Chain A
């Protein structure tokens, strides 16, 4: 088995087209997408001081402690100032006069957040972003109440503003497009590995070496598994290069926590293994260039999942894309440190892998070559 894994690695690394396609291309994409598009995300004007009044009406002790902890953590001495208030009406006057940016009221059980927005669009967006982060962590319900009369009219006339706010994929606090693409490019790399899977046996067929493998006195199930495992060192190498280069060279951020980064790496490794297995099974049964079938499907799925642009979100379609779910799980981990979705991805992928392994091994051992 070791010999097969070694052979696969050598075969891969000595093929220049592979090196470009799987190692250099994703890194270039992170660089290009991250740098070019991050300019679109840059503020055109300074945010300045953001003064926020907050009011705690929540009664649950845990909620209160969470709110106070959050406020104290988010408040900094540079431009974000949270001041506690007990007089909502007086604070509303301050919002209308532009003395403060907005009022945030934490109320209800389960926790609900009401934001009384001011007239400054940029500051409103900043506050929304901060509170959105908090609400995602604590699963609170956001209710935006605009103090700006025009905004109130907009809110009343259009349901879209709330929808957009709730459904928009947030980059999290202090995160850039580069960070977004660093994650989606790993995801892209993972799914592009379907080509490795489909080519795995097709390559042997093209080289005619499949005959030698099939008549060799080794267990065919073991051989199938070894062929697949032989692709993993390449995947580990690709992802390591992608993550390292995007962090060290381009300054992308994953999680601040090393364990979470390793866990993210592990999740993508499991995903890639599954994708390779699916590709290998397809390649086993579709003998004439299976990439022609698989690649367009993957590219469309990646497009619909917002892999190439975070602005792509088609309600009812995007959420159904496995790639989107995997990306969301990754964002959940690196932004909020949550493991639930990542664990779900790992479990589902492991189950699919097991099924594919069984189908592939049986198919490979029973299928004759003509």
Chain B
């Protein structure tokens, strides 16, 4: 039996349906990724799983327990790392971790030991006495994680834990999450950074506008778009360039799945069986755009998202 079963989950805020009949399962010891743009419904789904928010329809089972009936038992299993840093500025790192762990019934030496271990785990063992206001963004993020894991939860829910952190801290956080999984914890991880999800998640669900549009392992998901390749044309788009007209023209070509324009790169997703590279290049030349480089790439989650929704992930 899966460790987590989310079945036909619906959550509405007034007229807005934040989560619209989402279903998925998570196995024990798995890192499960929820991928989607901002406002897709990832955080709302997590809030339901963590018992923070009630839901309108559906069923959520965690470790064989119904979330509505066994709320307090389920709470005991969960460790939450919220999207926004949730720590007290006037308590030092150790006091923060110790306080949150104490809410889970830890006392005495066990409480102190676990708090120290959690700080060590996130690489803050030498910053125990430091108050968060004197910490960098990355250190705060790591402390945020330590506060959510000090009580050794079986299920760790992480809502975009790497937002706004430097590369070094991000690497540390991602490695820590893998380590938590190796220790036996089940992790639900949300992000809108595709690379992160690809790197650490065993399975991924892609959510958009409250609906689940795909779910599976990375190869399974990518296989859904194996007939698509991405073409990157490095150029320089001048100020005042009519981007809309250019995009419309490209989209009229056969086999075009999506197009994205940045200042120096034009990315076009095209069907492999209807190779339109030549026509795309010709169009770029027609628009008098300089071509500095051309390259193609095999599909990834970003391609999948663009293909399924017609929009970029970020």
Contact = CB atoms under 8 A, between A and B. Distances in A.
The finding on whether chains A and B are genuine partners in a shared complex, rather than unrelated, reads yes
A212 B13 contact: no
B285 to A, nearest CB: 51
A369 B91 CA distance: 24
A293 B103 CA distance: 32
A210 B78 CA distance: 15
B82 A217 contact: no
Contact of A208 (B47, B75, B85, B95): B85
A215 B50 contact: yes
Interface in A345-370: 368-370
Interface in B51-105: 51-54, 72-73, 75-76, 78, 80, 82, 84-91, 95, 99-100, 102-105
Contacts of A3: 99, 102-103
Interface residues of B, number: 31
A203 to B, nearest CB: 9
Contact of A211 (B75, B80, B90, B95): B80
B143 interface: no
Interface in B3-56: 13, 47, 50-54
Contacts of B80: 211-212, 215
A214 interface: yes
Contacts of B13: 370
Contact of A11 (B51, B53, B86, B88): B88
Contacts of A208: 82, 84-86
Given A3-B99, A7-B88, A7-B99, A212 B53 contact: no
B52 to A, nearest CB: 5
A207 B50 CA distance: 18
A209 B87 contact: yes
Nearest to A219: B72
Contact of B72 (A211, A217, A369, A370): A217
Q: Chain A CB within 10 Å — which of B78, B84, B85, B103 has the most?
A: B103
Contacts of A213: 103
B90 A10 contact: yes
Nearest to A2: B102
Interface in A248-274: none
A14 interface: yes
Nearest to A213: B103
A45 interface: no
B147 interface: yes
Q: A-side binding surface: helix, strand, loop or mixed?
A: helix
Contacts of B148: 212
A217 B90 contact: no
A216 interface: yes
B90 A209 contact: no
A37 to B, nearest CB: 36
Q: Is the interface of B mostly helix, strand, loop or mixed?
A: loop
Given A215-B50, A216-B103, A369-B53, A209 B75 contact: no
A215 B147 CA distance: 13
Interface in B102-158: 102-105, 147-148
A215 B85 CA distance: 15
Given A3-B102, A7-B99, A15 B90 contact: yes
Contact of A212 (B47, B54, B73, B86): B86
Nearest to A10: B91
Interface string A211-228: 111111110000000000
Contacts of A211: 50, 52, 80, 82, 86
A222 to B, nearest CB: 11
Contacts of B84: 208
A367 B86 CA distance: 19
Given A211-B82, A215-B51, A368-B52, A14 B99 contact: no
Interface string A1-33: 001000100110011000000000000000000
Contact of A207 (B54, B89, B102): B89
Q: Which 10 A-B pairs have the closest CB atoms?
A: A217-B75, A216-B103, A14-B90, A208-B86, A3-B102, A208-B84, A217-B76, A209-B86, A368-B53, A215-B50
Given A209-B88, A369-B53, 15 more contacts: A14-B91, A207-B86, A207-B87, A207-B88, A211-B50, A211-B82, A212-B103, A212-B147, A215-B50, A216-B103, A217-B73, A217-B76, A217-B103, A368-B52, A370-B47
